Copies of this chain bind each other. A is one copy, B any other.
Amino acid sequence: MKNGKATIHDIAEKLQVTASTVSRALNNNPRISDATKKKVLKAAKELNYQPNNIASALRSGKSRLIGVVVPTANRNFFSSVIRGIEEIANSVNYKVVISQSYDDYEKEMQTIEALLNVQVDGIIASIGKTTENVDHYKKILKKGIPLVLFDRVTNELDVSQVVIDDYYGAFQATEHLINEGCRRIVHFSNSQNINIYKERKRGYEDALLKHGIPVDLELIRFSKLQLEDGRTSMQEVIDAKIPFDAVFSASDYSIMGAMQVLKENGYKLPEDVKLVGFGDEPFTSFTEPTLTTVNQKSIPMGNITAETFFEILNQKDQKNVISKKTILKPELIIRNSSLKTQNHNSTIDLIA
């Protein structure tokens, strides 16, 4: 026992048994008597034994590490999903390695390569916005390594996925605006190659059609949906003198930009224009007016993603797993930016 670290051999020596016996005792192997098992556990505690995961990983081929690839952890949605994944993973003694792709295709490939290099047992990922070629994900599957996608998924891959019903969320949001009396609803969307944005747009359109409102292509603006993009898109609509009475954005960030530009142009919110975002970022609750938005159920999504992952991991034949798609219902969080009658907690109310 050198440099303070006890191994199974130290325990074995102390107890006058062999290392195999100790190993079995420590791993809930049935081929051991309760008596020795107890003794081993006791000795392990006394020697302050900490298993060497690396040796175990080398021998067993399991690192008890899950690689999680997200565009950025600095987003309420993603960090909450990670938290949801960790809850489940830690409960079965797995550890999560977080990797950020920064929505960059090159970085995404590198980071997956790096995760495979540290021998993760599997990967959970959300695909970056700029990623159009998914060969690096195919490589994971070809190696027989479990892969689960969440939120930003693709149909090009036959893997299990956990998503929210973007269509449903967008439909609810749009219908809510219609119920509040809006007829000319601007929609901010992103590239239609990205599934979630395609679905949100479809939900928006179907809600309009259901209520007999024609889809006006002039009202749909495409961008990267950052705050600045929201500013630009909004200003364009205003400058083109296109009539509108609401904005439903596929992102909380771009709706913020719209909110700024609208105020700068003298519009009263929500009287003149009603706003709904998507994502329920924390800041949406402290804008003025507070922002109606769609909550994506991030922690449950993380839980379910991890559970799906472990189901796959525990299957014998990695090549023949049946992929399943879990769809969560998002929730419309109604705040002041979309309401005819102001909620009494509104800051706007009280200032006026």
Q: Are B347 and A119 in contact (CB under 8 A)?
A: no
Min C-beta distance of A249 to chain B, whole Å: 14
Q: In whole angstroms, what is the CA distance A76 to B282 when docked?
A: 13
**Taking CB as reference atom, which chain B residue is nearest A284?**
B283
Contact yes or no, B286 A117, CB < 8 A: no
Is A4 a contact partner of B143 (Cβ separation < 8 A)? yes
A256: chain B residues at CB < 8 Å are 286
Contacts of A50 in B (CB 8 A): 116-117
A251: chain B residues within 8 A (beta carbon) = none
B-chain residues with CB within 8 Å of residue A98 when the two chains form the complex: 73, 97-98
- Which residues of the partner chain B approach A119 to less than 8 Å between Cβ atoms? 52-54
Distance to closest chain B CB from A27 (angstroms): 15
Considering only CB atoms, which chain B residue lies closest to A113 in the complex?
B50
Stretch in A29-37, A199-207, A259-267 touching the partner = A259-267
For the complex, what is the distance from the CA of A54 to the CA of B59, rounded to whole Å? 10
Contact of A73 among B51, B65, B74 (CB under 8 A): B74
* New contact pairs (20) apart from A52-B119, A73-B73, A74-B74, CB-CB < 8 Å: A50-B117, A51-B117, A53-B117, A54-B54, A54-B57, A54-B63, A54-B118, A64-B118, A65-B118, A74-B75, A74-B79, A82-B100, A83-B102, A90-B114, A95-B118, A256-B286, A263-B350, A264-B350, A264-B351, A288-B288
